[in-house]
């Protein structure tokens, strides 16, 4: 097992948020797009058809999210989170590469 093995969705989201990423939109299937307005980078996080409620503090209530760069936020319905499996290490590496986050930076949080 590598250093990036064994991370659950909720742990990844907490760390991604610490780097300034915000939920941008639901993508095809169970993927989500997250955006960092400071770096203008996007990353796709897969396999989140149902996320854990404690991660994003949702209760099937509308949540304010960015629609498009420069546009006003809009309210959307998001599912209650329920993703408990570990993210594969290669997938996490791809997420970090898209996000412009070095694995060492990610692990240091």
Q: How many Cα atoms within 13 Å fall on the side-chain side of residue 47?
A: 14
pLDDT of residue 99: 96
pLDDT of residue 52: 40
pLDDT of residue 87: 86
Does the residue 61 lie in any domain? yes
Does the residue 109 lie in any domain? no
Note the Cα 81 to chain centre separation in Å. 12
Does the residue 2 lie in any domain? no
CA distances from 88 to 3, 50, 75, 103 (A): 11, 18, 31, 14
Give how many domains the chain has, as a whole number.
1
Residue in 64, 17, 19 with CA at minimum distance from that of residue 39: 19
What tens digit of pLDDT does each residue of 48-66 get?
Answer: 544 443 345 544 344 444 5
Does the residue 108 lie in any domain? no
pTM of the model: 0.68
Does the residue 59 lie in any domain? yes
Helix spans in 2-88 (H): 9-18, 53-56
| Structural domain for 67, as ranges | 9-100
Does the residue 30 lie in any domain? yes
What tens digit of pLDDT does each residue of 28-44 get?
Answer: 777 889 999 999 999 99
The pLDDT of 1-23, averaged and rounded, is 90
pLDDT of residue 100: 96
pLDDT of residue 80: 39
Task: Tell me the pLDDT band of 71, cut-offs 50, 70 and 90.
Answer: low
């Amino acid at each position: 097992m590598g250093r990036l093995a064994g991370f659950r969705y909720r742990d990844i989201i907490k760390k991604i948020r610490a780097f300034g990423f915000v939920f941008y939109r639901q993508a095809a299937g169970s993927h989500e797009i997250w955006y960092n307005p400071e770096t203008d980078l996007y990353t796709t996080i897969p396999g989140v058809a149902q996320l854990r409620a404690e991660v994003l503090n949702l209760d099937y209530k509308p949540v304010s999210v960015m629609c498009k760069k420069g546009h006003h936020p809009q309210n959307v319905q998001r599912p209650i989170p329920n993703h408990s499996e570990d993210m594969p290490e290669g997938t996490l590496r791809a997420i970090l590469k898209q996000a412009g986050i070095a694995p060492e930076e990610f692990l240091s949080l």
